[in-house]
Amino acid sequence: AYERNWSAFDASNTKKRNNLAPSRLTNLVFVRMNMHLQSMALELKKTNANSIYIEQVNPFSEEENLNTETTSLSSDSKEENIDESENKELQGIQEMKKNLLMEVKTKNFMSDSSSQEVE
């Protein structure tokens, strides 16, 4: 965030504006960053990208596909056989996926903002 803020300062500090008071320049950067974030949010809404809900993703789907030939248990009986430790493991995996998703989103945001500054 610090590097992005400095690049926003550099973009705002042009020849016309180089005599601005620091507080005024800070306010200008704040407004520019907020406008940038709003435009990104509008772009996401326009694209209507389908969100992936972590709660609906089954981390064991590949294993289940591999084991389908060997076991003929229904999904109800599989759920009954999952013990407490497997539930905790599943929750841990879902939490890790959430963290990774947030990490990817922030990296994408940072790379998008840096590529827009280059243009």
Report which residue type is found at 6: W
Average pLDDT in the 32-40 region? 85
- Own/partner contacts of 78-81, CB < 8 Å, gap of 24 or more, are none
- Residue-wise pLDDT tens digits, 57-82: 666 665 555 555 555 544 545 555 55
The two three-digit tokens of residue 9, written as one number: 């300062």
- Kindly report the pTM of this predicted structure: 0.31
